[in-house]
Structure 1
Amino acid sequence: MRISVAEQPSGRLTEAWRFAVGTGRFDLALRRDYQDSLALVQREIGFRHIRGHGLLSDGVGVHRPYSYRGQRHVRHAFGYVDQVIDAYLDLGIRPFVELGFMPSALASGEQTVFWWRGNVTPPRSHTEWADLVRATVGHLVDRYGLDEVRRWPIEVWNEPDLKDFWQDANPDAYHRLYEVTAHAVKEVDAELQVGGPALSPGADDGWLPRFADFVTDRAVPIDFVSRHAYTSGPAQHVPFGVHQTLAPAQRLLEQFASPRRQLAGTALGQLPVHITEFNSSYRPDNPIHDTAFHAAYLAPVLVEGGDLVDSFAYWTFSDMFEEVGIPTTLFHGGFGLLTHRQVKKPTYHLYAFMRRLGDQVLARGTDHLVTRDDTGRIAVLAWAPVDVTGRDPVDGHTVRLSLPVASATARTAFLLRSSVSEEAGNAWRAWCELGRPPSPTTGQLDVLREAAEPARRHTSLPVLAGRVELDLHLARHEVTLAEVTPVTDETPPWWDESRLFGHEPPATA
């Protein structure tokens, strides 16, 4: 069935999908490969904020206690912080600040998480923790200016409902940490944005309402609510990787919607909601992240997510990420849109395609989104349906559209189509066909980067009665961007294509 797209927009496409993106731990941003990858992402996608763990962990060196004349003192050092944030701002991206984890010299215990050992215990002194928060936030304001830092959301901790990330997953201890932290932030400036609690997808339905009751009863500042969303099942471990079942992508949207559902009627019910992490698998070593399937799986989430939340941050922009150790191969199932050495994955192109969409929404469906920009260019994002079990993949799918052309004089339109699928724009597939080299040679990297580019084609389409008929035949796991632009014909009157090879012009009567 052909869908006739209306000429008048039905709404606006929000930028919630690129408000923020995730990253590996804070100090990884000091590496060249990281900065090269982020520069590429910013040129072609352009995220607004970036969030990661470890700002206050030992590797960044902010909290530096020392003894002088028999007294304990603390020096706050921001050399690494400045280098990273300077680089972020130079690339046009702002921090989404996560306050954590606990500096070891301030920690009340020795429990850590990840290969790089982020401490996840409460502070042994909440007074010293508040001093650390005030010093850190105050330094940011002094260096970057109050107007700038007011635009940076400040989130308190990460997934305190999980024992891996917060000792005993103790809500009372987290509530105290949040209260102390939020007040410390507001002591620097009352208009700075502070929020939480950055809950995991597995948090029970009582966690967020209890947090809301606590901050309301005690008049604790809160400017936004945050949580995370993933859809994978238990990890089935293999050497240097995992495999997992997946729930349908709709489950991500349900998780996006849950904070507002749980907070309806409370004092927090109208606050902005930020999904500060989302992906399919919560593991950084699941090969599903590298596949064409993954792009088609997430396409409807990017299209619909902005209707439910103020932002949703893909976790993460790069495979520069070491929570379970240093990766042993180029493609290893990392979270990133890019591998190390800037090889683009199909999901990278999904985001790059989103960047090309207009802001006027003309039509939406279960397999497509039609937009228009102020120049009259129509951009269609379409995707093939997926089977999350992998048992019955969909081979062949067609989206048929009748598009309005915003030109009274155009007789043709130019179609530019870019696609990724199992066969196109799929560097992971090329890497498999190359024999899965753990550390590709320079020549192999060149091959992979070429294989990662979308298939592109173009043609001229007739405009009839102010409309263009567009048939998009989609291969397995294909995501395609079709851009339709009305043509103003400026061909000179002497042009005759039949003379391209030197033939004489036809005789005239």
Structure 2
Amino acid sequence: MIRVPTEPAGRLSDAWRLCVGTGRAELALRRDHQDSLALLQREIGFRYIRGHGLLSDGMGVHRPYTWQGARHVHHSFTYVDQVVDAYLERGIRPFLELGFMPEGLASGRQTVFWWRGNVTPPRETNEWTALVRATLTHLVDRYGADEVRTWPIEVWNEPDLPGFWENADEAAYHRLYEATAHAVKEVDAGLQVGGPAVSPGADGWLERFAEFAERRDVPVDFVSRHAYTSGRAQHVPFGVHQTLAPAGDLLDQFAAPHRELKGTRLAGLPVHITEFNSSYRPDNPVHDTAFHAAYLAPVVTAGGDHADSFSYWTFSDVFEETGVPTAPFHGGFGLLTHRQIKKPTYHLYAFMARMGQERLAHGGDHLVTRHADGRVTVLAWAPVDPSGLTPGPERHALRLSVPVGTRPAGEVFVRRSTVDEEHGNAYAAWRHMGSPRSPEPAQLDVLREAAEPSRGHRRLPVEDGRVDLALTLARHEVTLVELTPLEDETPPWWDERRLLGRETP
């Protein structure tokens, strides 16, 4: 029995909801993306959203043309306005990533992803900084300086990888960052700029970035990096399989910037993990499973102890890095499939959104919080085996002594919501129905129904101001238990035994 303290250990960090990822920026023009974002915000409520391609050709910002024999550049913000408006209308702000390179400004032809984001340095630095200044000036003019100052601005994405930055040229990235950061500050000194948004394998990049920033006196308002725990991709048609490290490795990666930047000028700056997930592939079926929710539960509940934000990559399968999705469940990053089918990991986040502000207890398989009105919420999860050698334990027992108020006796109303291999698991239902690549409307209804957690209700007695809560979790289960002190208003004449009209024995 674990005795949960009555006094809070502190406030529950909300770093888990500060930011969430999306695909390239122009996907926000689509109805499916906007409907998915509306659902996400209604039930979870993230504060910022980050994606690629704000300056790529698909957004149509950089428009070079020739007039009277001379080259000119027109900056167009038609799509930028629609995308940002769509975000703000749904109560979420942009976490801006400046990239990739417009073709008319690129120094080379190397691209990344199915949608061909150019990853080469600018052919002309002055034209690049003019693009940055024009974009941010437009945003400040349209939305106001006070608003845009709250939007973090990240320079590029994973420049330590040759697939995302030509030759992973570190010196070239430093030059890009320096020019970009100064251009940002020229628009408004209060704008937040940071980077270097490196991948998990970027050995030494953060330390050298700090040394460069100090040597060149370059503005840096926050530090960013990414975190994943999967091994090399084992390809199959339209998908991959990968080994996984223990989920605790993600927390180690979240904490790495503080360790690596200790003693540098950047020590103490906010640390944003602007992408994290288990697998770095958008076609790994592990993302769709109940296992994935249980695997990430200790990360989502503890990540705020190590970073100022950690952005789940991504909120939706409206995402096309490897091409158009081939089926509703295809291993996409999303918390939601396209067509708004909730995955088990979606519910992990939805459960977190129902936790209280006061943190009472946190262990390897549970988190206990209390709301201002006295309600107590318990999030519990079954352990998993990330090695893939076993399916994990079939049952996991957890027993808690939970404080529920000042009254020594009485009862509490108990509401339990559960996701596991059989409940809240649309992926399992989809497999049972034969994995249809294009489900009929009636099948989509079944999948959405199967995606909802199972819910149960009961009462438990209070003794000495505490409730004995005994939980048995199924394999890969994540469960939310809400305990509400109740005032029983049942009239004294009510007798359930007389429902069929007979006298009480």
What TM-score range do you get, normalising by the shorter chain? over 0.9
- Aligned 8 A contact 2:407 2:464 in 1: no
Give TM-score, length-normalised by structure 2: 0.99
Alignment of 1:173 with 2:172, yes or no, is yes
After TM superposition, give the deviation of residue 163 of structure 1 in Å. Answer: 0.1
Alignment of 1:208 with 2:217, yes or no, is no
CA RMSD of aligned residues (A): 1.0
Match of 1:78 in 2: 77
Q: Deviations over 1:212-262 (max 9, x none)?
A: 011111111110000000000000000000000000001100100101100
Match of 1:253 in 2: 251
After TM superposition, give the deviation of residue 464 of structure 1 in Å. Answer: 1.1
Matches of 2:470 and 2:494 in 1, distance apart?
A: 31
Q: Deviations over 1:450-477 (max 9, x none)?
A: 1110011010001111110001100000
The residue identity in structure 2 corresponding to 1:141 is V
Matches of 1:143 and 1:362 in 2, distance apart?
A: 43
Match of 1:40 in 2: 39
- Aligned 8 A contact 1:407 1:486 in 2: no
Say which SS state the counterpart of residue 431 (structure 2) adopts. helix
Matches of 1:398 and 1:409 in 2, distance apart?
A: 27
Matches of 2:38 and 2:20 in 1, distance apart?
A: 13
Alignment partner of 1:333 out of 331, 334, 340: 331
The residue identity in structure 2 corresponding to 1:284 is P
> 1:132-147 alignment to 2 at 5 Å?
132-147=131-146
Match of 2:418 in 1: 419
Matches of 1:407 and 1:426 in 2, distance apart?
A: 38
Alignment partner of 1:363 out of 351, 361, 364: 361
Unaligned runs of 5+ in 2: none
Matches of 1:244 and 1:92 in 2, distance apart?
A: 35
> 1:379-418 alignment to 2 at 5 Å?
379-392=377-390, 393-408=392-407, 411-418=410-417
Matches of 2:503 and 2:242 in 1, distance apart?
A: 67
The residue identity in structure 2 corresponding to 1:314 is Y
- Aligned 8 A contact 1:410 1:486 in 2: no
Matches of 1:485 and 1:87 in 2, distance apart?
A: 37
- Aligned 8 A contact 2:10 2:358 in 1: yes
Matches of 2:15 and 2:77 in 1, distance apart?
A: 31
The residue identity in structure 1 corresponding to 2:31 is R
Q: Deviations over 1:289-323 (max 9, x none)?
A: 00000000000001110000000000000001100
Give TM-score, length-normalised by structure 1: 0.98
The residue identity in structure 2 corresponding to 1:112 is T
- Aligned 8 A contact 1:430 1:451 in 2: yes
Matches of 1:16 and 1:76 in 2, distance apart?
A: 35
After TM superposition, give the deviation of residue 355 of structure 1 in Å. Answer: 0.3
Matches of 1:276 and 1:295 in 2, distance apart?
A: 19
Match of 2:297 in 1: 299
> 1:101-180 alignment to 2 at 5 Å?
101-180=100-179
Match of 2:97 in 1: 98
- Aligned 8 A contact 1:410 1:487 in 2: no
After TM superposition, give the deviation of residue 489 of structure 1 in Å. Answer: 1.8
Identity rate, percent: 72
Alignment of 1:227 with 2:225, yes or no, is yes
Matches of 1:458 and 1:98 in 2, distance apart?
A: 45
Matches of 1:209 and 1:397 in 2, distance apart?
A: 42
The residue identity in structure 1 corresponding to 2:113 is F
Matches of 1:470 and 1:421 in 2, distance apart?
A: 20
Say which SS state the counterpart of residue 463 (structure 1) adopts. strand
After TM superposition, give the deviation of residue 406 of structure 1 in Å. Answer: 1.3
- Aligned 8 A contact 2:285 2:332 in 1: yes
Moved over 6 A (4+): none
- Aligned 8 A contact 1:410 1:488 in 2: no
Matches of 1:60 and 1:356 in 2, distance apart?
A: 36
After TM superposition, give the deviation of residue 505 of structure 1 in Å. Answer: 6.7
Match of 1:239 in 2: 237
After TM superposition, give the deviation of residue 409 of structure 1 in Å. Answer: 6.4
After TM superposition, give the deviation of residue 61 of structure 1 in Å. Answer: 0.0
Matches of 1:208 and 1:389 in 2, distance apart?
A: 30
Say which SS state the counterpart of residue 472 (structure 2) adopts. strand
Matches of 1:410 and 1:220 in 2, distance apart?
A: 62
- Aligned 8 A contact 2:409 2:463 in 1: no
After TM superposition, give the deviation of residue 369 of structure 1 in Å. Answer: 0.5
Matches of 2:328 and 2:359 in 1, distance apart?
A: 38
Matches of 2:373 and 2:494 in 1, distance apart?
A: 28
Match of 1:463 in 2: 462
After TM superposition, give the deviation of residue 410 of structure 1 in Å. Answer: 5.4
After TM superposition, give the deviation of residue 391 of structure 1 in Å. Answer: 2.1
Match of 1:429 in 2: 428
Alignment of 1:445 with 2:448, yes or no, is no
The residue identity in structure 1 corresponding to 2:105 is L
Matches of 1:365 and 1:270 in 2, distance apart?
A: 27
- Aligned 8 A contact 1:64 1:77 in 2: yes
- Aligned 8 A contact 2:213 2:220 in 1: yes
